[in-house]
Amino acid sequence: MSTEKPKVAFYWCASCGGCEEAVIDLAEDILKVVEAVDIVFWPVALDFKKKDVEAMKDGSIAVSFINGAVRLSEQEEMVKLLRQKSGLVVAFGSCSHLGGIPGLGNFWNKETIFRRAYLTTPSTDNPDGTVPLEKTEVDGKELTLPRFYDTVYTLDQVIDVDYYLPGCAPPPDLIMNALQAILEGKLPPKGAVLSPNKSLCDDCKRNESKPEKLTIKEIKRPWEVELDPEKCFLAQGVICMGPATRTGCGERCIEANMPCRGCFGPTDQVIDQGAKFLSSLASILDTDDEKEIEKIVDTIVDPAGTFYRFSLPSSIFRRRRMEDIK
Ligand code: SF4
Ligand code: SF4
């Protein structure tokens, strides 16, 4: 009988590093993980190289957990390699699952992002206007950088994904449940999001505080209101993405008296999280007057960024039209 432990890989693409921290957040449970599996690739923590992965047999990694969206050619190459070498691929965290915060880059393109980041921010001091180039020569040697794409992609827009672990970042209990299910072979059907398929409102302690007919006349930002810690945020006129967001996070933001931002993405029944929230919001505006509705909606600062904060690349829009970007 083989005593070999299942091989596991972790990889990050366009991400903030929070999902790597989430693995560390397993605390003492990480010892159980290390005991049960062999971590064969984890660039942030262990010194394995791409060539080590290339040398592995196809399908020999039991599962690869990939966090971050795909924004660079290098990330595309690495996730395709890991797909080839892995039995299972899990999209780990909001960016990999839905596009996440890096996905908001889909309101722009490479040229406008580079212009802003390297030339026009108030703190930029770049008199020569230097921007990163894919190829450049230094001391007679050619140096290369990965290609920066105009569009940010979710992991499943680039490779076949078996499961999704939602969250920004996924909480430790969901990670442990997923690992256990993988090790015991007790997984749901392929394509499942490994968190309960109901909305956050269904689990939220503040749900009962909602009046029978919830209506709002104006929309405020959290810092503009002294928030009642027992009362539904929407009933206080503050946007909370709970009605359009999957549960399973443990209501971490709600417990901290902050409204849900939507990082768990939608439930299985919803195609577009932003559109779902917009329809929930429209149903509670306390007026039928078009001008009044316009006035209320105008008080939402950055509506696209609010409703699609985590999900733009996975939405029905995917990105702003390139021809509209100046
Ligand atoms: S809208 Fe937000 S605060 Fe209100 S019940 Fe839903 S999750 Fe809770
Ligand atoms: S409350 Fe919303 S934003 Fe906060 S962790 Fe849960 S799903 Fe994510």
Instruction: Spell out the per-residue pLDDT of the chain, length 326, in tens.
Output: 556 899 999 999 999 999 999 988 887 888 888 889 999 999 998 999 999 999 999 999 999 999 999 999 999 999 999 999 999 999 999 999 999 999 999 999 999 999 999 999 999 999 999 999 999 999 999 999 999 999 999 999 999 999 999 999 999 999 999 999 998 999 999 999 999 999 999 999 999 999 888 888 889 999 999 999 999 999 999 999 999 999 999 999 999 999 999 999 999 999 999 999 999 998 898 888 888 888 888 889 899 999 999 999 999 999 999 998 87
Residues 267 and 295 in one domain: yes
pLDDT in tens, 276-285: 999 999 889 8
Ligand 1 centroid–CA 232 distance in Å is 5
**Residues 90, 161: contact at Cβ < 8 Å?**
yes
Residues 270 and 287 in one domain: yes
Boundaries of domain holding 298: 200-314
**Residues 313, 157: contact at Cβ < 8 Å?**
yes
Ligand with smallest separation from the Cα of 93: 2
Nearest atom in ligand 2 to 254's CA: 1
Collapsing DSSP to helix, strand or coil, 206 comes out as: helix
Residues 165 and 306 in one domain: no
Collapsing DSSP to helix, strand or coil, 306 comes out as: helix
| Cα distance between residue 185 and residue 162, in whole Å | 13
Whether the CB of 240 sits within 6 Å of ligand 1: yes
Model pLDDT, residue 121: 96
| Cα distance between residue 194 and residue 147, in whole Å | 32
Residues 36 and 157 in one domain: yes
Residue 195 lies in a domain: no
Residue 300 lies in a domain: yes
Residues 50 and 160 in one domain: yes
pLDDT in tens, 182-230: 989 999 999 999 999 999 999 999 999 998 888 888 899 999 999 999 9
Model pLDDT, residue 321: 93
Whether the CB of 242 sits within 6 Å of ligand 1: yes
Q: Out of 94, 260, 310, give the residue to mutate to test ligand 2, the one with the largest number of ligand atoms within 8 Å of its CB.
A: 260
Residues 298 and 169 in one domain: no
Model pLDDT, residue 287: 83
Ligand 1 centroid–CA 18 distance in Å is 25
Residue 134 lies in a domain: yes
Model pLDDT, residue 2: 57
Residues 157 and 235 in one domain: no
Residues 65 and 132 in one domain: no
Residue 217 lies in a domain: yes
Domain count, the chain: 3
For the entire predicted model, the pTM comes to 0.94
Collapsing DSSP to helix, strand or coil, 88 comes out as: strand
Residue 194 lies in a domain: no
Residues 259 and 115 in one domain: no
What CATH number does the domain containing 46 carry? 3.40.50.700
Residues 282 and 204 in one domain: yes
Residues 134 and 118 in one domain: yes
Residues 13 and 117 in one domain: no
Residue 190 lies in a domain: no
CB atoms within 10 A of CB 141: 7
